[in-house]
């Protein structure tokens, strides 16, 4: 297992994953966020409408955006090269706008490398292309264990990584976010870009599961 804390199955989502407990009191950063937000509103720097607008922007972002990026990369080698060189610029080619100054690094899975994304500090996440993170991604058990024992965490999601495949864990920061480019399933050579996008789930772009030919995506 190779962990890089400052650089870099099945198809359903795991918001209620058994290994993650939701019985957790508000953390330091959550308490501070609430306090700062209320102070800024009281001082008149922001309004409830400003916050509501930003929430609406976040709500408009879904994993379908990231899935479209992945499908284009699978079908367009030139785009894939540009995406891997500059993830943000590649996404912007498809009309995906970024509402912050974060950098996006796209990590490609291969026969010899499997990538897993985490944020050990809080819940930094590629929201412009995936929307809001799942609950389990934000909780301390995942944030700690993904770095310490990533193969065990992946196994709990039903993803068994062979011993000869390297697992790379990339820790998101306030300025750098990651997106996994999963491997394209065999047997999809004649699929359209739209059909391929329908196979790509949020969890696959975090790296906890592979993309598979499931009932929903079978032709």
How far is 88 from 40, CA to CA, in rounded Å? 30
Q: Model-level pTM?
A: 0.76
Catalytic member of 3, 11, 123, 172: 123
Burial of 100 (0-12, 13-18, 19+ CB in 10 A): exposed
CATH number for the segment(s) 2-10+62-206: 3.90.330.10
pLDDT digits (tens, 9 = 90+) for 42-87: 988 878 776 765 665 665 669 999 999 999 999 999 999 999 999 9
- Residue 219, pLDDT > 70, answer no
The verdict on whether 91 is a catalytic residue reads no
How far is 138 from 154, CA to CA, in rounded Å? 16
DSSP 128: H
Model confidence at 3, pLDDT cuts 50, 70, 90, reads very low
Catalytic member of 91, 124, 170, 172: 124
The verdict on whether 124 is a catalytic residue reads yes
The verdict on whether 122 is a catalytic residue reads yes
- Residue 139, pLDDT > 50, answer yes
Answer whether 193's CB lies under 8 Å from 54's CB. Answer: no
How far is 69 from 71, CA to CA, in rounded Å? 6
- Residue 25, pLDDT > 60, answer yes
pLDDT digits (tens, 9 = 90+) for 151-201: 999 999 999 999 999 999 999 999 999 999 999 999 999 999 999 999 999
What would you report as the CA-atom Rg of the chain, rounded to the nearest whole angstrom?
A: 18
Catalytic member of 3, 11, 91, 119: 119
C-alpha atoms less than 13 angstroms from C-alpha of 16 in its C-beta half-sphere: 0
The verdict on whether 123 is a catalytic residue reads yes
Domain ranges in the chain are 2-10+62-206
Number of H helices, E strands in the chain: 11, 5
């Amino acid at each position: 297992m190779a962990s890089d804390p400052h650089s870099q199955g099945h198809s359903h989502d795991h918001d209620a994953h058994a290994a993650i407990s939701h019985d957790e009191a508000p953390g330091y950063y959550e308490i501070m966020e609430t306090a700062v937000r209320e102070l800024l509103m009281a001082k008149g720097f922001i309004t409830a409408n400003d916050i509501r607008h930003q929430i609406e922007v976040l709500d408009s972002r879904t994993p379908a955006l990231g899935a479209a990026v992945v499908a284009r990369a699978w079908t367009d080698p030139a785009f894939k090269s540009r995406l891997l060189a500059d993830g943000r610029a590649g996404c912007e080619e498809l009309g995906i706008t970024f509402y912050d100054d974060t950098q996006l690094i796209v990590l490609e899975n291969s026969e010899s490398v499997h990538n897993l994304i985490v944020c050990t500090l809080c819940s930094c996440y590629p929201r412009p292309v995936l929307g809001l993170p799942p609950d389990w991604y934000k909780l301390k058990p995942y944030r700690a264990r993904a770095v310490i024992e990533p193969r065990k965490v992946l196994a709990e999601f039903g993803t068994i990584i062979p011993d000869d495949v390297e697992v790379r864990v990339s820790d998101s920061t306030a300025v750098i976010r990651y997106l996994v480019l999963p491997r394209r399933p065999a047997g999809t050579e004649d699929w359209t870009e739209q059909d391929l996008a329908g196979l790509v789930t949020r969890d696959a772009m975090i790296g906890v599961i592979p993309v598979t030919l499931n009932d929903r995506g079978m032709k």
